Amino acid sequence: MNKKVMALAVAGAFVMPAAAFAQASNVQIYGTLYMEYSYSHQGAKAPAALGGASSGDLVNIDLLQAPGSEIGIRGEEALGGGNSAWFQCASTADLRGQGIVTATNSGGFAGTQGFCGRNSAIGLKGSWGNVFAGNWDSASKVVAAARITSDTGIWGVGPLLYGSSATMNDSNVPSGFSRRQNNSMHYQAPNFNGLQLSGTVSAPSSAPGNTTNTSAGKPRLMAIGAAYSNGPLGLFAGYERHVNFNPASVASLGQNGSAIAATVPNANQSGTDSGFSIGATYQLGPVKAGLIYAQQDLDTGVQGAVPVGTDATVSAYNLAAEWAIVGPHVLRGGYTKASNTKGNFCAAGQLGAAGTTCNIGNRVYNGGAGGTGATAWQMQYVYNASKRTELTAGYIRLQNDANARYSLGGLTAPQVGQNQDSFAISIKNTF
């Protein structure tokens, strides 16, 4: 009996201080674990030479992917007067054992995904709002609440809607408008009768060139977002502006997706790119529908006093719905349409004979000649095994127009005009 009492006393000596610390600091561990398996047809391979023929089909491939998987810690401390300090550090949790430090999205762009590589910040909040700084989703990304279907992975429609979707450092990926922005400061206003406004501004890092007087100095992102909720209706809007974001060099592709050059000098860092998106959701009984429209205007700027290329514009929309049939059974579907690009978002030296194109990420720009749009449609069956665990199976098909070469998330970009499709299953657990 004495041994039991002693054991309980020793255990209590360890447990009680730990419990008291957790209560005082209010620190939580949370996360989302996701695994996706897909079998995909990728289409014909892009030719090796300008105007050449394809060297055959890309292999049919099966992939394991883990987009959106994360584990994090967060905490909040009351400061008095209704104010509090808070922090969050979220990191990629790749259960495949690949130990991601950087991740390349389907648009071909890399973003940091290491420790605190996902939404991470420290800030203060109160009745006056919430102000914080760190590595966080841009305020304009609030429109993602109307998407219903995924942004990344094999189901992802981010490349069609926004050019790319990733964690982005300073000015990399100038044409990407679904971003978690490094070195960013944010303000979220108090909710007023269902309306909440937010804003983001980035600060340049201390990378070489950002603190000098060169034309590439001080790249900056500025964004605003608005979300309104009233019963079954949700309305969302976002605007984002990139200043000094155009890269010093870009990779380019020619006709049929062939390579023109590995890098082409680009002195148009002074260009200003902008994008806006609007969205809405509506819940009608067991059915929730969402609609997003997004447009980006890309400024190729000038090299000295000479315009570089022609400014480009591209738009897309996504319509999706989710039907809770009965019990744990759900059907989810979506249709995404990317329009033809207009203009030519290319560096000096990339504009050649008629028909020459350049490729920035997943998008082809050919001076408005057309055939650069694409559509994607998908259907999924979802089984909610519990409040935290979701099982999904379904199919997605991407259809490229004659001069387009979009790709599904994780797949190789094919020859222009090629289609891709995939069957996939996934499991997601949140805690």
Within a domain: 10: no
Which tens digit of pLDDT belongs to each residue from 319-370? 999 999 999 999 999 999 999 998 876 654 444 333 456 666 678 888 788 9
Structure tokens at 281: 């959701």
Within a domain: 1: no
- Residue 103 reports pLDDT greater than 80: no
- The pLDDT score that the predictor gives to residue 408 is 95
Domain tally for the chain? 1
Instruction: Find the mean pLDDT for residues 194-217.
Output: 73
Which tens digit of pLDDT belongs to each residue from 262-291? 344 344 455 788 999 999 999 999 999 999
Which tens digit of pLDDT belongs to each residue from 224-253? 999 999 999 999 999 999 887 765 444 444
Structural domain boundaries enclosing 166:
29-430
Within a domain: 152: yes
**Closest by CA position to 47, among listed 57, 32, 33:** 57
- The pLDDT score that the predictor gives to residue 111 is 43
Within a domain: 24: no
Question: Would you say the C-alpha torsion 139, 140, 141, 144 has a positive or negative sign?
Answer: positive
Amino acid at position 67, single letter? P
- The pLDDT score that the predictor gives to residue 27 is 94
Please state the three-class secondary structure of 60-73 as a single string. CEEEEECCCCEEEE
Q: To the nearest whole number, what is the mean pLDDT of the chain?
A: 81
DSSP state of 57: B
Within a domain: 13: no
CB-based burial, 82-119: b 16+ in 10 Å, e otherwise: eebebbbbbbbbbeeeeebeebebbbbbbbbbeebbbb
pLDDT interval class at 217 (50, 70, 90): low
- Residue 379 reports pLDDT greater than 60: yes
Within a domain: 21: no
CB 405 within 8 A of CB 418: yes
CATH number, domain at 41?
A: 2.40.160.10
- CA gap 204, 240 in Å, rounded: 16
Within a domain: 393: yes
Which tens digit of pLDDT belongs to each residue from 24-65? 568 999 999 999 999 999 999 877 654 556 668 889 999 999
CB 26 within 8 A of CB 397: no
